[in-house]
Amino acid sequence: MLKNDRWIVERAQQGMIEPFEPKLVRSITPDSGVPLSVISYGLSSYGYDIRLSPVEFKVFRHVPGTVVNPKKFNPGNLESVPLQSDEDGDYFILPAHSYGLGVALERLVIPPNITCLFIGKSTYARCGLIWNLTPGESGWIGWLTLEVSNSSSADCRVYANEGVVQALFLEGEPCETTYAARSGKYQDQPQRVTLAKV
């Protein structure tokens, strides 16, 4: 069963999402006092819009003579992208036809009878950005590494501190072994980009 806003609020009060925004935020008022439109984040009817952290964003780059190997991932195939700011907010640039890795601003503690699906927001999809559909398994804890592909022929901004993916919480019968119990390889991820592991 897909869980609703009332359930999400109850679980957030028990530490499932931190920090937690109890309503859908579409604009903020920064120190300048001038309202700023944002890509929405926070609680929705049947989900929660997760924000991109300003801590780190990396883009794949071509290194002659190398092939990306998920079993022996070379961090040299990634380069850090600087956080930039202007009147529209804080952002990273994702070059055309490239792939980037960021990290969620919110820390998640997934209950043992819940699996999450993280799906990209339509605002970014309409700009050619495709956020990888990622599961958050029962018992998983940490900051989600976010993967995004720029399928367009134009560079695109990816806004930090604003919504990028929506978490949908699906309840199932209790499983025999949770992600935490089997010591999943991505358990307790820090608020940094976590590279591929085997």
In 42-189, alpha helices (H): 122-125
Per-state percent for the chain, helix, strand, coil, to nearest 5: 10, 45, 45
d(CA 122, CA 30): 25
Pick from 159, 169, 172, 170: which is nearest to 12 by CA? 169
* The two three-digit tokens of residue 75, written as one number: 């961090």
Is 147 known to be catalytic? yes
- Say which of 137, 147, 171, 176 is annotated catalytic: 147
What is the set of active-site residues? 147
